[in-house]
């Protein structure tokens, strides 16, 4: 039993949880009525709850446990670093070896990037992006370039600024978001636009059309006011929206044409998820900045940051003086030591290549067998992230009545049968640990099919 403190019964954990723990993105009355599921340990692609049930974690925790649970190399790295130097900051002209080594290492795996700014999370890293791009344009003598364009349903984090960058209507409905200077365009979601803009278009033509919405917005605002465009290579929390191959190259051309900085939010897509180190490599874009978090440490400890391309880094370094921004834990030595061990392991196990050449294509093939299921309207995947679109009538693409919350029903069936899957509206999502094998993908897909059968 790896549970900290005195062992307690599930009911005792749940009672204390309800009494004291305010959870992220949670309806607490609903939680109290049911009681939280208490997850006590993990191994490989599985976790166990306090009742001893084994659960296949097809969401890698929260899109982060890329090397799977229970990797001794990461645990040892943390312990070694804690014993040597548990913390020192990178303010005031000091540095630490793990942070230097990680910065150097990241520059080696991110083509075109030599510099990194560390944070503890993806949200903080995106706040850093806002500071960086606005500072860049100030230093370039174009302070009017303030606006950042993002996409509807994007998720870029939960701080005030990152939630504003994101395009989640439910988040914007609380607390007066978005903050000024951020505007949103539609995402390249062919299913959502099937009755509208995408009607009658090939997937490639729709990709080009969706990219053109960025240029329309830049022209509407005036390119002299636009600082940057931010997007996830594949929108993750928005429902694993895999864009057509035509989308990103066209976005790249548009940003270049108008001098707009391109920020690729790689918090989910980075570190092998799409079959390359970075999602932008998979889709052939060349961003100026890249946000990362999650997979950098496989979630074992919090760490995030921004890869800063030379266009921005040189201006910041040569003309910027002191950059008035940073976090206590920027370059935290324990987090950086774990990240280094994590990157070593990803390389030793050949995970990026394995996703690209083996497990990614295998998942795509297994997903395709769901196409004939009576409530599956379509499937999409990129590497080891995938979506199953539920439909009341796949032949016509008719949607379920939202009142049925069909995705949540399906998710509950999954959970009851030992599978963690995520529901985004009517899209069922998987993003398993990158260590998953073909046999385990088959096991996962068997559970997915069972859940779909029960939902139907």
Among candidates 50, 52, 68, which has minimal Cα distance to 60? Answer: 68
Residue 166 or 309 with smaller CB distance to ligand PLP: 166
Q: How many CB atoms lie within 10 A of CB 175?
A: 9
Q: Given the structure tokens 């994007």, which residue do they identify? A: 154
Binding to ligand PLP by residue 304, rule CB under 6 A?
yes
Would you count residue 237 as binding ligand PLP (CB under 6 A)? yes
Minimum CB separation of residue 247 from ligand PLP in Å reads 17
Q: Does 127 bind ligand PLP (CB under 6 A)?
A: no
Which residues lie below 8 Å from residue 297, measured CB to CB, with a gap of 6+? 64, 74, 303, 335, 338, 339, 342
Size of interface with ligand PLP, in residues (CB under 6 A): 15
User: Which residue from 217, 243, 199 is spatially nearest to 381, judged by alpha carbons?
Assistant: 243
Minimum Å gap between C-beta 124 and ligand PLP is 7
Q: Determine which residue in the list 157, 275, 279, 360 makes contact with ligand PLP, applying CB under 6 A.
A: 157
To ligand PLP, the closest distance from the beta carbon of 11 in angstroms equals: 30
Q: Kindly tell me which residue out of 45, 211, 230, 268 binds ligand PLP, with binding defined by CB under 6 A.
A: 268
Binding segment toward ligand PLP, per CB under 6 A, in 154-162, 199-207, 341-349, 398-406: 154-162
Q: How far is the CB of 387 from ligand PLP (least distance, A)?
A: 14
Q: Is 129 in the site for ligand PLP (CB under 6 A)?
A: no
- Rule CB under 6 A: is residue 155 a binding residue for ligand PLP? yes
Report the alpha-carbon distance of residue 62 to residue 121 in Å, rounded: 13
CA distances from 55 to 213, 220, 401, 417, 450 (A): 42, 49, 30, 8, 15
Binding of residue 265 to ligand PLP (CB under 6 A): yes
Find the helix packing angle between 333-348 and 97-109, rounded to 10°.
Answer: 40
Answer for which of 186, 232, 250, 426 binds ligand PLP (CB under 6 A) is 232
Helix (H, G, I), strand (E, B) or coil at 346: helix
Instruction: Note whether 156 binds ligand PLP by CB under 6 A.
Output: yes
Helices 310-319 and 122-139, interaxial angle, to 10°?
60
Contacting residues for 300 by C-beta, under 8 A, at least 6 apart: 65, 71, 74, 75, 78, 338, 342
CB 93, min distance to ligand PLP, A: 28
Instruction: Give the residue with the Cβ less far from ligand PLP, 128 or 391.
Output: 128
Binding residue for ligand PLP (CB under 6 A) from 42, 44, 122, 279? 122
State which residue has the least CB distance to ligand PLP. Answer: 122
Nearest Cα residue to 436 out of 386, 390, 395, 368: 386
Please tell me the distance from the alpha carbon of residue 417 to that of residue 244, in angstroms, as a whole number: 34
> Looking at 94-102, 122-130, 349-357, 440-448, which segment touches ligand PLP (CB under 6 A)?
122-130
What's the CA angle centered on 284, arms 347 and 193, to 5 degrees? Answer: 115
Instruction: Tell me if 123 contacts ligand PLP by CB under 6 A.
Output: yes
Strand order from edge to edge, sheet including 427-430: 376-382, 385-390, 427-430, 422-424
User: Near ligand PLP by CB under 6 A, which window of 71-79, 153-161, 249-257, 411-419?
Assistant: 153-161
Binding range to ligand PLP, per CB under 6 A, among 27-35, 115-123, 187-195, 428-436: 115-123
Among 147, 293, 346, 351, binds ligand PLP (CB under 6 A): 293
Task: Work out how close the CB of 175 gets to ligand PLP at its nearest, in angstroms, rounded to a whole number.
Answer: 17
* Contacting ligand PLP within 131-150 (CB under 6 A): none
Q: Tell whether residue 262 is a contact of ligand PLP (CB under 6 A).
A: no
Quick one: angle between helices 72-84 and 333-348, nearest 10?
150
92 class by beta-carbon count within 10 Å (0-12 exposed, 13-18 middle, 19+ buried): exposed
Contacts with ligand PLP, residue ranges (CB under 6 A) = 121-123, 126, 155-157, 232, 236-237, 265, 267-268, 293, 304
């Amino acid at each position: 039993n790896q549970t900290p403190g005195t062992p307690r019964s599930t009911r005792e954990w749940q009672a204390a949880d309800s009494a004291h723990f305010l959870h992220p993105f949670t309806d607490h009355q609903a939680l109290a009525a049911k009681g939280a599921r208490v997850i006590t340990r993990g191994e490989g692609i599985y976790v166990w709850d306090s009742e001893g049930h084994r659960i296949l974690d097809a969401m890698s925790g929260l899109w982060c446990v890329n090397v799977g649970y229970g990797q001794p190399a990461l645990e040892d790295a943390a312990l070694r670093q804690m014993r040597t130097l548990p913390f020192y900051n990178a303010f005031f002209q000091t540095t630490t070896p793990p942070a230097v080594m990680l910065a150097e290492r990241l520059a080696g795996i991110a083509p075109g990037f030599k510099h990194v700014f560390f944070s503890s999370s993806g949200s903080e890293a995106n706040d850093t992006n806002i500071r960086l791009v606005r500072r860049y344009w100030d230093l370039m003598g174009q302070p009017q370039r303030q606006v950042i364009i993002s996409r509807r349903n994007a998720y870029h984090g939960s701080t005030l600024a990152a939630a504003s960058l994101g395009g989640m209507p439910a988040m914007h409905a609380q607390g007066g978001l978005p903050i000024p200077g951020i505007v949103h365009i539609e995402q390249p979601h062919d299913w959502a636009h099937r009755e509208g803009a995408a009607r009658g278009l090939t997937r490639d033509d729709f990709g080009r059309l969706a990219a053109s919405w960025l240029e329309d917005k830049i022209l509407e605002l005036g390119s002299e006011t636009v600082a940057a465009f931010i997007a996830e290579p594949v929108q993750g929390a928005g429902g694993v929206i895999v864009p057509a191959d035509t989308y990103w190259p066209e976005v790249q051309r548009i940003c270049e044409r108008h001098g707009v900085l391109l920020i690729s939010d790689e918090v989910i897509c980075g570190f092998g998820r799409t079959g390359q180190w970075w999602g932008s490599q998979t889709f052939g874009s060349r961003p100026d900045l890249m946000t990362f978090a999650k997979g950098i440490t496989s979630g074992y400890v919090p760490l995030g940051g921004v890869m800063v391309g030379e266009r921005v880094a040189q201006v910041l370094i040569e003309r910027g003086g002191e950059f008035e921004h940073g976090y206590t834990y920027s370059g935290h030595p324990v987090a950086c030591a774990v990240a280094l061990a994590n990157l070593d392991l990803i390389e030793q196990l050949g995970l990026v290549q394995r996703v690209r050449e083996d497990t990614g294509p295998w998942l795509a093939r297994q997903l395709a067998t769901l196409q004939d299921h009576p409530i599956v309207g379509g499937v999409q995947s990129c590497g080891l992230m995938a979506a199953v679109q539920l439909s009341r009538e796949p032949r016509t693409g008719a949607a379920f009545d939202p009142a049925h919350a069909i995705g949540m029903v399906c998710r509950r069936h999954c959970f009851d049968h030992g599978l963690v899957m995520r529901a985004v509206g009517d899209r069922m999502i998987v993003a398993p640990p990158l260590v998953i094998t073909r046999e385990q993908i088959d096991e996962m897909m068997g559970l997915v099919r069972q859940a779909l059968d029960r939902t139907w």
